[in-house]
Amino acid sequence: MPEPAYAKKSIRILPESLINKIAAGEVVERPASVVKELLENSIDAGATDIQVTVKNGGRDLISILDNGCGMNEADAQLAVERHATSKIVDENDLFRIQTLGFRGEALAAIASVSHFELLTCEDENKGATRIFIKGGYLEQVGKIGFPQGTKITVERLFYNTPARLKFLKTTATELQHIQQHLVQKSLAHPHIHFRLTHNRQLLLNLSGGQDLQTRIQQLFGEEFKEILMTVKHEETYLQYSGFISFPSKPRTSRRWQYIFVNDRNIKSPAVNHGVYDGYGTFLGKGQHPVFFLNLKIDPTEIDVNVHPAKTEIRFRNNQLIHTILVDQISRALKDGASRRFFGREHSHSQMSHTEVSGQIELPMEEALTLESQYSGMTFHKRKKRSTESRDLPPRGALKAKHSAELSAFNAEKTLTKIRQAPEIIQNQPSTEISESLDYAPDNLPEHEIRNLRLLLPLPLIPQNIRVLGQFRKTYIMAENEAGLLMIEQRALHERLLFDYYTEGLQKKAVAVQTFQPSLLIELSPQKSVLLEQSLEHLQLSGFSVSPFGGSTFAVNTIPEILNADQVEKVILEILDQLALFGKRGQGEEIIRDICVVVSTHASLTAEQELSLTEMEILLAQWEKIGSPMTSLQDVPILVEFSIQELERRLKR
């Protein structure tokens, strides 16, 4: 019998650089973990301004600049050693941790798997220190000019651990994970100014000095002021404050659920169940509350040292936490409900109108879960796009004035025009042809795209997905690096049209088609009244309609994505929707519903044969727009079968 491999070797202590690499395996799973650790260090250092710069999802570069306390040269040299920390001194401290970090291994671990540069200055009179480490080996220590604070630059992450490198997902996925950490930290620390730039595009710019409610609106849109109520509980054992959704405003996703315990964003079944049980029968099947809860508890009542990434904590008394929450949340909701019954729901809300400075537009937590399922999906996330659906806050709060990059980005978007397929071919003005070679509107095989209303400029061929065919006239079968994809064509087309349409709306530049002479429609008396009341909302959405005497109306323009022969049907359906709102309808909700009706009518039908070219164009458009992978009804647009899963099923 052969000797087992280990029998030949004697035990030895591993070299420090190897130990660090092993530790990196736990702490530094992906670029987002680097961002998380560095953000936590900057926050622990008391920074009020933190700028994160990332290239290619963090693969090529992650850099974090803060205005925190900085370090002197001796501390800086220690900081990059394993188990060097300023945050705990002895074992007892481990059980009363107030800072985000405490293990003293992040910097050493990150530096062992990258090209790592630390610039830091504690006292401007004494100058700044620069330390450069390559793959765990100290290459340089020196003096440099740098203001008080710290800048850490991590390049070529995982260059010496190819296995890790291979596990990285697409740029979009890695970026979303990074963004998610910024969202979490910015919610826990609304007084800090956070910026995130990716490939020179400013994705987040969250001004500092805010309170939680403003931060929520900055991130998720103003709609949140309508759906959230304040909660507060003050008691010696546990205090919390924050916002939860009114029982009448549940969501269909868990996307907006954040728990912070002593300023640390964590997952906690005890808290989660406590909140859900507090809602009790207020929540129907598939409904989820929104909550942003800041819990404060004596640090000795929790153990934060139970998870390598410190994303979970253990409460000493889970049961008690659960009971307090169920009791308090249900009480708050019942109070809220009785107020609502008397028509004063919103007076309870503390969320007020606030200037919104930057809004997040990439899909967040839910999209992350989706992305981890659909891990191989690769999108060109060249642009910020809406993640909007019925369940999402409206966009529109993004103020381009904040950065030149953003306006450049907007300028790019104005190139895009919607046309109906047949006109595209003849009337394509040359200025609208986009920069890149994969767009070739002139060569569009006209007969092949009869079914689609398309977005321009047209990428014809998807870069990262290959179409294999159509299944049951309903699904596009395709493959990408990771495996096989089944994409619901109608849900996808609806999503693209909706995102495009709402974007035009936001910019008050909906593409329309004009009727000359006007198209006349005849309505019932009730519907005419409704229509008269809704002319303004319709106008904003691209329908220019005017009374033509009696119950006849003249339609002068309609959104360009619609067909002329659909006008009457669409307007009637919009009126049905408006009737549902009654007097309580909010402008934004009304317009959103109009957009949904228009997009669903403009899109492909459930069963429709598509040519290969049409399918390719759809997917190419998807890549270009970067719409989320969820439909307007907030359900997945695609299923993915990874190669691993297929092999597992086939028992390979």
Binding site for Mg ion (CB under 5 A): 41, 101, 106
**37 or 222: CB nearest ligand ADP:** 37
| Composition of the chain by helix, strand, coil, percent to 5 | 40, 20, 35
Strand 193-198 with 49-55, pairing = parallel
Which residues, 6+ apart, have CB-to-CB distance to 284 below 8 Å? 250
Shortest approach of ligand ADP to residue 38 CB, angstroms? 7
Ranges within 260-319 binding ligand ADP (CB under 6 A): none
The entry of Mg ion, ligand ADP, none near residue 322 (CB within 5 to 8 angstroms by kind) is none
Shortest approach of ligand ADP to residue 79 CB, angstroms? 3
User: What residue has token string 């710019």?
Assistant: 205
The entry of Mg ion, ligand ADP, none near residue 542 (CB within 5 to 8 angstroms by kind) is none
Confirm or reject binding of residue 41 to ligand ADP (CB under 6 A).
yes
The entry of Mg ion, ligand ADP, none near residue 308 (CB within 5 to 8 angstroms by kind) is none
389 phi, psi to nearest 5 deg: -150, -175
Q: Give residue 535's Cα distance to chain centre.
A: 34
Confirm or reject binding of residue 107 to ligand ADP (CB under 6 A).
yes
Shortest approach of Mg ion to residue 262 CB, angstroms? 16
Binding mask 150-169 for ligand ADP (x = CB under 6 A): x-------------------
DSSP symbols for 239-291: EEEEEEE-TT--BSSSTTEEEEETTEE-B-HHHHHHHHHHHGGGS-TT-B--E
Q: Which helix (H) or strand (E) holds 35?
A: helix 31-44
Q: Which residues of 152-168 are buried (b: 16+ CB within 10 A; e: fewer)?
A: bbbbbbbebbeebeeeb
Q: Point out which span in 99-107, 411-419, 543-551, 586-594 binds ligand ADP (CB under 6 A).
A: 99-107
Shortest approach of Mg ion to residue 129 CB, angstroms? 18
Confirm or reject binding of residue 101 to ligand ADP (CB under 6 A).
yes
Strand 483-488 with 475-480, pairing = antiparallel
Shortest approach of Mg ion to residue 191 CB, angstroms? 20
Binding residue (CB under 6 A) for ligand ADP from 24, 28, 32, 45: 45
> How crowded is the C-beta side of 408, counted as CA atoms within 13 Å?
8
The entry of Mg ion, ligand ADP, none near residue 392 (CB within 5 to 8 angstroms by kind) is none
Shortest approach of ligand ADP to residue 37 CB, angstroms? 6
**68 or 289: CB nearest ligand ADP:** 68
The entry of Mg ion, ligand ADP, none near residue 105 (CB within 5 to 8 angstroms by kind) is ligand ADP
Cα–Cα distance between 599 and 597 in angstroms, integer? 6
Please name which of 411, 501, 456, 506 lies closest in space to residue 201, comparing C-alpha atoms: 411
Shortest approach of ligand ADP to residue 120 CB, angstroms? 6
Shortest approach of ligand ADP to residue 311 CB, angstroms? 15
**104 or 299: CB nearest ligand ADP:** 104
Confirm or reject binding of residue 193 to ligand ADP (CB under 6 A).
no
Shortest approach of ligand ADP to residue 164 CB, angstroms? 19
Confirm or reject binding of residue 103 to ligand ADP (CB under 6 A).
yes
Ranges within 64-93 binding ligand ADP (CB under 6 A): 66, 68-71, 79, 84-87
Shortest approach of Mg ion to residue 37 CB, angstroms? 5
Shortest approach of ligand ADP to residue 187 CB, angstroms? 20
Cα–Cα distance between 306 and 32 in angstroms, integer? 20
Position closest to ligand ADP via CB? 101
Confirm or reject binding of residue 42 to ligand ADP (CB under 6 A).
yes
How far CA 551 is from CA of 522, 526, 548, 576, in Å, comes to 6, 9, 8, 16
**141 or 421: CB nearest ligand ADP:** 141
User: What residue has token string 């006239």?
Assistant: 473
Judged by DSSP in three states, 496 sits in helix
**42 or 217: CB nearest ligand ADP:** 42
Q: Are 501 and 627 in contact (CB under 8 A)?
A: no
Q: Point out which span in 34-42, 213-221, 323-331, 607-615 binds ligand ADP (CB under 6 A).
A: 34-42
Q: Give residue 107's Cα distance to chain centre.
A: 27
Q: DSSP secondary-structure letter at 460? A: -
Cα–Cα distance between 522 and 524 in angstroms, integer? 7
The entry of Mg ion, ligand ADP, none near residue 79 (CB within 5 to 8 angstroms by kind) is ligand ADP
Which residues, 6+ apart, have CB-to-CB distance to 107 below 8 Å? 37, 41, 79, 80, 84, 116, 118, 152
Judged by DSSP in three states, 48 sits in coil
**21 or 103: CB nearest ligand ADP:** 103
**69 or 567: CB nearest ligand ADP:** 69
**152 or 594: CB nearest ligand ADP:** 152
Cβ-based burial of 320 (10 A; exposed 0-12, middle 13-18, buried ≥19): middle
Residues that bind ligand ADP (CB under 6 A): 37, 41-42, 45, 66, 68-71, 79, 84-87, 101-107, 150
